[in-house]
Amino acid sequence: MANLPTVLVTGASGRTGQIVYKKLKEGSDKFVARGLARTVEGKEKIGGEDDVFIGDIRDVDSISPAIQGIDALVILTSAVPKMKPGFDPTKGGRPEFIFEDGQYPEQVDWIGQKNQIDAAKAAGVKHIVLVGSMGGTNPDHPLNKFGNGNILVWKRKAEQYLADSGTPYTIIRAGGLLDKEGGARELIVGKDDELLQTDTKTVPRADVAEVCIQALLFEESKFKAFDLGSKPEGTSTPTKDFKALFSQVTTRF
């Protein structure tokens, strides 16, 4: 048991983070799982176990207990826009989105991720897996307009910071996230948002979570960044060989 790698997933109470945390727990023959949630409610949501720490990624001191002694880090924290109160769908128009004070992408996706990368590097972590988003090559992407948050701009800045950190990394830029069953599709890797022009630009959350787990197991995933999409269910053979999937990737950023 003693030589199993300890893996921390941050954003563990988020929709994809929960799946990664669960998969780490299920893989107890391969990993010692840890989670980080921002609130007590978040910790309770995933079972309230002792291996789930509570901390605020915007404050590096509050996350250092979770990071001490880990071997790998999976970053799944993200700013989340909220619908502006008072939107009335019966009147037509589009809802407006806002970020809560202190929870803007600059604070969460840039400062918060930078804090995690710095703390992990200082703790001697051997691998950081970061889940980002497709669309970062386009500064005018509609997602950047949400709450004037420039979310993809800040995410990409954090990705670049990780790629420049010297720590082995895997950057997974997920396509549109689907709440569908995992393991039922052929996964597609791409680069530079090319997949956004295709009908393979979406991917189940469960598959993103599985790619995070698999990235921890293969050297072929290290020092690589890629876009991740999938073919529609039932149209091709589901991906099982993750070593081959990572080997297809030639891009470092």
Residue range 33-46, pLDDT digits in tens: 999 999 999 999 99
Where residue 193 falls (left for φ over 0; alpha for ψ -120 to 50; beta otherwise) is left
13 is catalytic: no
- CATH classification at residue 28: 3.40.50.720
Average pLDDT, the chain: 95
In angstroms, the CA 97 to CA 82 distance is 5
Domain presence at residue 66: yes
Number of domains in the chain: 1
Q: List the catalytic residue out of 13, 133, 221, 230.
A: 133
What domain range is 184 assigned to? 6-248
pTM value is 0.95
Domain presence at residue 253: no
Domain presence at residue 1: no
Q: What is the pLDDT of residue 68?
A: 96
Residue 236 and residue 186 in contact, taking contact as beta carbons nearer than 8 Å: yes
Residue 175 and residue 190 in contact, taking contact as beta carbons nearer than 8 Å: no
Q: What is the pLDDT of residue 85?
A: 84
Helix or strand (DSSP H, E) at 118: helix 113-122
Name every residue whose Cβ is closer than 8 Å to that of residue 114 and which is 6 or more positions away in sequence: 158, 161
Q: What is the pLDDT of residue 2?
A: 58
pLDDT digits (tens, 9 = 90+) for 140-166: 999 999 899 999 999 999 999 999 999
pLDDT digits (tens, 9 = 90+) for 89-135: 788 878 888 999 999 999 999 999 999 999 999 999 999 999 999 99
